[in-house]
Amino acid sequence: MDSRGSRGILAIMQDERARQKVSCGQVATLDRDHRLWRILTHEGDTMRLLVNSACFVLLAACASTSTAPAASPQPTATACTVGAADPVFSTDGGTEGIAVEKDGTIYTSDFCSGEVFRVDPDGNVTTLTTIPYGVDNSNCDIGTTLGVATSENGSVWVVAWSGVPESNGVWRIAPDGSAELSVPMPPEAAAIPNDLVFDPDGALYITESKAGAVWKAEPGEAAEPWLTTDLLAPPEGQDFGANGIAFREGNLYVANFARGTIIKVPVENDGSPGTPAVFATIAPHGEGLTGPDGLEFDALGNLYTVTAGGAQMVRISPSGEAKVVLDLAALGLTFPTGIGFAPTDGQTEVAYISNPGASEGEADVVKVNMCPGD
């Protein structure tokens, strides 16, 4: 495969954001004056690639004389939200996925190197292991780690998108630090494995972005395609459809990054998928897609997402009503992708957010205090 240059895979994901039209009041654009584009062929797929390191410019407002698109959820001040995102952790390659334990321990991974980290509530960092991509990834042009989850036996589970059979799929890091490719996903069928979640019975669900699919692995068994639907697929010419995933009360919730929607999928009693349907729209299709990425439920049953395309935190009520509760761009986050919650005391709730596109001086993981349900 041709070299993609430093942080090339992140550039591909940011390219998806650059091609979206974002609503007035939160516009993302790309200054192409000093940047080059080229076409690469990888595993038969054609992808646009930003060769030089890219910087997205977030514009705070649109001219009043312009024609405004239909209104999407607008940022709303919250009584308990602090005015800054407190830095927690940074790595050389950035972090994409994040998992937060009940005691406030954070698990995340370096986007490029494959290192997996534990950050305890006091901020002490331990490197658990390094996922071996099986290829030279010194330029971050082949392998990357995405979703992170934990299981009750103390294992940490990390999705690796590498494009090679030796490492593509879900890695399990045992409590002793040993790592294995526990759930292989063949690249020809699962080109972009992305995020993951367990159900209460221990079945593992993994999103696949390119085809718009969810794969399922029963405990101790191989993963197989479980659901493929146009509702999870990206529009033609784009790579990232099905992205973040969450489970609650017998239903899966999956973010479609490119279409700006959250899809609800019932899990039937026999384990098969029910009929998928649009649960929430983060921004009207065709009128400004904001790129919902990671998903997580709070203690009150509200579903949250962070939008990599719009740098916003969005709360979705149990009835599917979406509301922007925090403008993450104003807090200095440029490409938020993952979210997790620490235990709540009933008065405040702490959200941890991963930010793989962090600029120099920005943290890759930040925390924000919030009012539950405000």
Backbone phi and psi for residue 101, each to the nearest 5 degrees, phi listed first: -80, 170
Which amino acid belongs to residue 76?
Answer: T
Regarding beta strands 115-119 and 365-370, do their DSSP bridges make them parallel or antiparallel, or are they unpaired? unpaired
d(CA 326, CA 305): 11
Distance of CA 35 to the CA centre of its chain: 26
Query: Which pLDDT tens digit goes with each residue over 23-37?
Result: 323 333 333 232 222
Sketch out the chain's domains with CATH numbers.
8-59 (no CATH), 86-370 (2.120.10.30)
Check residue 168 and give its pLDDT: 96
Give the span between the Cα atoms of 309 and 283, in whole angstroms.
Answer: 11
pLDDT computed for residue 215 by the predictor: 98
Alpha carbon separation from 23 to 59, 61, 68, 149 (Å, rounded): 11, 10, 8, 32
**Structural tokens at position 347:** 């008065």
Q: Report the distance separating Cα 280 and Cα 301, nearest Å.
A: 15
Residue 12: the pLDDT is: 55
Give the Cα separation of 300 and 367 in Å (integer): 19
Pick from 214, 338, 189: nearest CA to 264:
214
Give the CA diameter of the chain: 61
Q: For the purposes of burial, counting CB atoms within 10 Å of the CB of 258, is it exposed (0-12), middle (13-18) or buried (19 or more)?
A: buried
The predicted pLDDT at position 20 comes to 45
**Tokens at 246, concatenated:** 């969450």
Query: Cα(336)–Cα(341) distance, rounded to whole angstroms?
Result: 15
Tell me the mean pLDDT per 10 residues along the chain, length 374. Answer: 44 53 33 27 32 28 32 42 74 92 92 94 94 84 91 95 95 95 97 97 97 96 97 93 97 95 97 97 60 91 90 91 88 90 74 85 84 55
Number of helices (H), then strands (E), in the chain: 1, 28
Which residue, chain included where needed, has tokens 């039937």?
A: 268
Determine the pLDDT at residue 84: 65
The whole-model pTM stands at 0.80
Type of residue found at 292: P
